[in-house]
Each structure stands twice: as structure tokens, then as C-alpha cells.
Structure 1
Amino acid sequence: MVINSMKLYLKRENLIHNMEYLRKSKGKEVLPVVKANAYGHGVEEIVQILYDNGQREFAVARYVEAERILKMGLKDLKILIFESIGDLSLVKDKEELEISANTYEELEKIIDFGVDSKRVQIKIDFGFGRNGILIRDLQRLKEYIDKKQLNFRGIYSHLFAVNYEEGLEYIGKFHEILRYLGKERFQMIHLQNSAGVLNFDCEDVTHLRVGMLIYGLQEVGFYDENLKQVFSLEGRVAGVRDISENRYIAYGTKEELGFLSTKYIAKIKIGYADGFLKINEKSNCLINNKEFPIVIVSMDNTFIEVDTSVKEGDRVVLYHDISKSVAHNGMNIYEMLTLLSPRLEREII
């Protein structure tokens, strides 16, 4: 009897390939973003693969994410936290952690608290409505830096998916700010997110701050055929039943579900408690290289309409065609992956 659940398989070779490809093609170091459980892939698994390949710098959104990495017990790490730290005592004595100054006032607070500026990265806000020191505060920022003679771990901003002309304009502004504040005061300089990496080159940056691209995930309009997908969501059929005489499929009638003529149902061990949402109903999965429709997603199991060719133990692949999954669910693939629960086992292959 097959009892194994579905798993998120992580292809080590593809992850390393993507990192090396981005590094070599752009001639910059890569700062991998592993927030949101490494975009759903599993932060411990992804960090361990990259660490074993020599990576020592990582970026996360929140302190609790950095804490998960610290618990792995790895040596010589540097972890940048994007969001503000409410309680600076949590990070003051943790030399591995680098924190962001997201407002001028926050920078003063950090320095006054005794955190070494060489563990601080300044974020600049170009008016995107996100975190960052405002342009209007640049003069007093410079005066404060000069007065205190501060040198920082880094400086960065967010070059989101703007059109090409605006992107060039913001890159130019960023370079002006660097010159104004003193480029020599910053060890690390980064501006591009994944879309920015594909669309622009930035002379002054030292690092590419990349999230979805290291996982081989790409959006419409931003595509590089050299990147390889890291994840595969798959498992085995846990059972097949003849329901030709049944009125119900799991919790709904055949008529309600729109599968009135269904004769055979296969069950797989994944459900919305694992982050595989009910929105996936009436999309397709792949069994033995053939597409079959998903009938119903329950909390712990998913039921698929199949034919007599499908047997218990056959290989099942979910999200096998990302473009179709994105179109059906109305969600980006990284949105779907970040919903996947830690209950769903990750395995490195």
C-alpha cells in the first residue's frame, strides 16, 4: 500500500547552476533572498545547499526568518534583514545579523543603541511607497554620516518592474546618491531585484539581490532561458477507486462538482492544509506523462478523475506546466509556492 505524501523536490544542481549563471553573466556577486521560507522551497534546505557551495551571505525580510537560519549552526554567515527591528536588543550581540535603516530616525536610533554601523545597510526610498530613507532626508543623512564618520555594511534601494526609461532614471539617481554620500563608505551596494537584473546593468553595484531567479522562477515579460527550475511537486497515487455507482466524490456530489460521468478517482496525499489550495480544482495534474483533471481538494487529500491506465503507486506531478497553473489560479508561481506548508516535506535531490 502506498502511503507516502507528495513532496517538494529541490534540484541541487539547478539551484547552483542558477547562482553561478547569474554571477558570471553579470560579473557581480549574488545576494540570495531566502525570505518567505525561501519562496516556499524551504529555507533550511536552500540555505544548506548554497552554504555547501560556498555562499555565506543571505537576505531575509524579518528577524524570525534570520533566527531560523541561525539555528542551523552554520559558521561565518552574514544575514541581511530588510524590515525594521522593533527590539534592537535581539540583534545587538548577534554579529551575523545585518540590519536595515529604513528611515533617518531609525538610523539614529540604531547608532545610539550601540549597533556598529558596519552591520547596518541603508535603504533609500525613491517614492515606491516601501521602506527606505526619503530623498528629502538625504542632506541631514549626509551631515549625520560626516559628523559621526560612519562607514556602513551597505546601501541599497528597490528597482522594481518599472519601464525601461524610468529604470534608467532611477539607476542614475542611485548613482548620484552614492557619490553624494560617499561610495567609499559602503562595502556592499545593491539595487536590482530579479526583474531589474534581467533588464538593467548597474555599474556601481557590487551584488545582485535576487529572489525568484535563483529558484528558476520567472514572470511574463522577464525571461531568461538559461535559468533552470529548482522545484518539482510530485509523489505517488495513494489509491484508485471505481466510483461508477457512487453519487459522491469526497465531500460533493458528482453533479455539484461537474464530474457527473466520472468512473475512476485517484487519491493523492496533499490538500489545502499543505497549501495546495482549493483554487486548483478543475486544473490538471500529470500522471504517467498524461494530464488528468483535479476534481476536489480537501484538507488532507486531493482527488483526480482518471482512467483505467492509472494504478496505485503511479507518479503524479503538480504544477507541471507553470504557465497553465498561473493562468488557472490567477496567481504567480512564487505566490503558490510560498503558500506551501512546512507540513509538506522538502527533499533535496
Structure 2
Amino acid sequence: METKSFVMEILEKNLINNIEYLKEKYEKSILPVIKANAYGHGIEIIAKALYRNGYKEFSVARLKEATKILENKDLNGCKILVFESIDQKDFSYIKDCDSIILTANSFQELVAMIDNGISSGKIQLKIDFGFGRNGIDILEISKLKSYIIKKNLKFNGIYSHLYATDFKEGKELLNEFNKIVLFLGKDRFQMIHMQNSVGILLYRTQKLMTHMRSGIFIYGLQEEGFFHEGLKQVFQLKGKVAGIRDLEKSKYLAYSLKSDLNNINYKNIVKIKIGYGDGFLKCNENTFCTINKKSYKILHVTMDNTFIVGDESIRDGDEVILYPDITLVRKNTGMHICEILPLINERIERVLKSQGTEN
């Protein structure tokens, strides 16, 4: 690792705390969502941490994400639900892989899976209520029931997605989903789930559901209005001060004219080794980081380096934390934290911290 480079620390204790908190509060099993590189936290690290703490069922968006997890041979016996549709050329691989659970995103996909010898016990049905992404059309539910009865099918699960955050509309969707499950026969499904993280908070325990499907909450990613006091931030983006410069008499800061940066004090400009080449975007300019637990303004982001307005107390090698308070990310950058973190790329190493916790 380069001197004073940045890492993303993953706090295992906080991850498990969040799942246990949700599980105990709502008295439902949690199906962790670890798609998009575990929302930027590192899919392999998160899968490993979940597995060794007894959580062996998780979900991803794409088959490629599932196969990446399964490269770790120590995760034998895990079950991975893949949300998106799978090309039929991969069916032979799926049939031989006990860990992967497919989603039938249309009636035609379900028929193709069954006709190609994939057991219904390796399939979850997704119902589409007009979200516009994936799912079996609700107009085909009667046809679906007839097919299920004819083939005597029992599935790994059934689910849908809450696209509405309007409380009344979301409640109506949940009621419609419950009716469909009962119509098809709830005993035909091992797993029944619809609530994502916001749905967990808004609608709490739903009797028919066996699981709650949580992405952002298991990582402690929260915003005002959708806040759980019991959740803890799982990541820390940490590095070291990699130099301090007095640029009072300089015309430039990196490639930019100081006059364009609209700052007054250039006496203690702090450099750190992260930039938009690492996925730390320029929208972070004029936001704040912490150095030695004190807040400082981020002035300028370049491809490989970021510059901070410091003071006389900062020393070379002091610890720097970026995104110290995730609840402020949208306010400060205009972007959701789910957009910010997955962009932090492989140049920033993810490191699992198994001992201790951070608040």
C-alpha cells in the first residue's frame, strides 16, 4: 500500500449490530442486499462477514455478483438471490450450483426455467405493480396460478418492490401483494418479502412476510426523515495527511487559479491522497472532513489528490476521515449516499475491522 493512502474500513461489529437490531425490533428475518459492491462497502468482505456470523442468505442484482462471491470456497452452503433476469445460456451452470436462486421476472421466464429443468425450489417469483423494472405482470396472475397448480410447483420465494414512499400508496401495494400471495398459496413459498429499508421503517411488521429485504439500513446509511437511532455507520473512509503547504504567495493550487477557488486562507493547505480517480467526486468540494476530530473544509478535488483548508494544529500524518456523518451527504453534495459510495473504486482498499466498534 502506498504511504498515507486511503482505505475504507468496514466495521464488522456495526454491520452485525444493524442486522440484529432490525431483526429484534421487527421480529423478522433479514435478507441482506449486497449488490453494487455491497453499496460500495466491498461485496466479498461483506459476504464473508455475514457468513461467519451465521447469515448465509443474501441477495444481489446480477449473476456476475453472485459468481464473484462464490469464488470464495469458504462460503459453501450460502444462498444468493439474483434479482435480474438470467440468460438461458447460463441455465446449465445454475442447475449445477446449489447456492444461486433465480428470479422469474416474467411468466415467460418462469416457463423457460421450468422447461429447462431448473427446480422451482431454486426460483423466486417477482410481481410487478407498475414499477417499470422487473416482475410478472399482475394481469397474468390467474394464468400463473393455473400453471403453478398444473405443475404442482413450490418455490424458494416470492417478492415485489415498494417503489412508493407515499405512505397510503405503499400500504395499498402491500395489501395487493398479500392478496396475490394468498391467492397463489402462501405455503408454496419458503420466503415472502416486499419491504426494502424504507418500507421496513414505514410499515413495520407485516404478518405474512417471512423476511425484510434491507440494503442501506444494514450499512447504517440513513437520511433525515428515515432514521433509526439503533443503526451504526459500517464504513469509515480514512487516510493520513500527506503534506501541508503554505500557498499564500502562490498563484495556483494544483491546476487551478486560486482566484477561481474563492477561498481566503491559503497558509495551511492540507493535501490527502484521494481524488476523483478514486471515485471521490468533485461534488465534495466545499463539504467537510474531520482531522483529529475537528471539522475542516474540502477546498479542491483533483484526480489523485484533494486539498483541505487546514490550520496550524495539523501535522503531516494526522488522521483524516471523509464522510464522517453520512446523514449530511445529500445536503452537502446533492447526491444520495447510495450514489456516492459505489463510485469509490478498487484503488481504495476495503479492510475488514473485526475487533471493536465506532460510533
Q: Quickly name the TM-score band, shorter chain normalised.
A: over 0.9
- Does the 8 Å contact 1:160/1:195 carry over to 2? no
Distance (whole Å) between structure 1 residues aligned to residue 322 and residue 21 of structure 2: 27
The answer for the alignment partner of 2:109 in structure 1 is 106
Distance (whole Å) between structure 1 residues aligned to residue 200 and residue 337 of structure 2: 19
The answer for the alignment partner of 2:79 in structure 1 is 78
The answer for the alignment partner of 1:232 in structure 2 is 236
The answer for the alignment partner of 1:144 in structure 2 is 147
The answer for the alignment partner of 2:194 in structure 1 is 191
- Alpha-carbon deviation of 1:343? 1.6
2:27 matches 1:27: yes
Partner letter of residue 171 of structure 1? L
217-226 or 18-27: bigger deviation: 217-226
- Alpha-carbon deviation of 1:216? 0.7
TM norm structure 1: 0.96
Partner letter of residue 14 of structure 2? N
2:212 matches 1:211: no
Secondary structure of the structure 1 residue equivalent to 2:351:
strand
Partner letter of residue 76 of structure 2? K
132-141 or 213-222: bigger deviation: 213-222
Distance (whole Å) between structure 1 residues aligned to residue 258 and residue 329 of structure 2: 24
Secondary structure of the structure 2 residue equivalent to 1:79:
strand
The answer for the alignment partner of 2:317 in structure 1 is 313
The answer for the alignment partner of 2:134 in structure 1 is 131
Structure 1 gap segments, 5+ residues each = none
- Alpha-carbon deviation of 1:260? 5.2
- Alpha-carbon deviation of 1:133? 0.3
Structure 2 gap segments, 5+ residues each = 354-359
- Does the 8 Å contact 1:160/1:196 carry over to 2? no
Partner letter of residue 252 of structure 2? Y
- Does the 8 Å contact 1:161/1:196 carry over to 2? no
Identity %: 51
- Does the 8 Å contact 2:4/2:317 carry over to 1? no
The answer for the alignment partner of 1:95 in structure 2 is 98
Distance (whole Å) between structure 2 residues aligned to residue 185 and residue 321 of structure 1: 44
Secondary structure of the structure 1 residue equivalent to 2:19:
helix
Distance (whole Å) between structure 1 residues aligned to residue 269 and residue 85 of structure 2: 49
Could you tell me which of 232, 240, 257 is aligned with 1:253? 257
The answer for the alignment partner of 2:59 in structure 1 is 59
4-13 or 142-151: bigger deviation: 4-13
- Does the 8 Å contact 1:236/1:315 carry over to 2? yes
Distance (whole Å) between structure 2 residues aligned to residue 309 and residue 289 of structure 1: 12
87-96 or 38-47: bigger deviation: 87-96
- Alpha-carbon deviation of 1:167? 2.1
- Does the 8 Å contact 2:121/2:155 carry over to 1? yes
Secondary structure of the structure 2 residue equivalent to 1:246:
coil
Could you tell me which of 338, 341, 344 is aligned with 2:345? 341
The answer for the alignment partner of 1:274 in structure 2 is 278
The answer for the alignment partner of 2:5 in structure 1 is 5
Partner letter of residue 206 of structure 2? C
TM norm structure 2: 0.94
162-171 or 40-49: bigger deviation: 162-171
- Does the 8 Å contact 1:31/1:209 carry over to 2? yes
Distance (whole Å) between structure 1 residues aligned to residue 44 and residue 274 of structure 2: 22
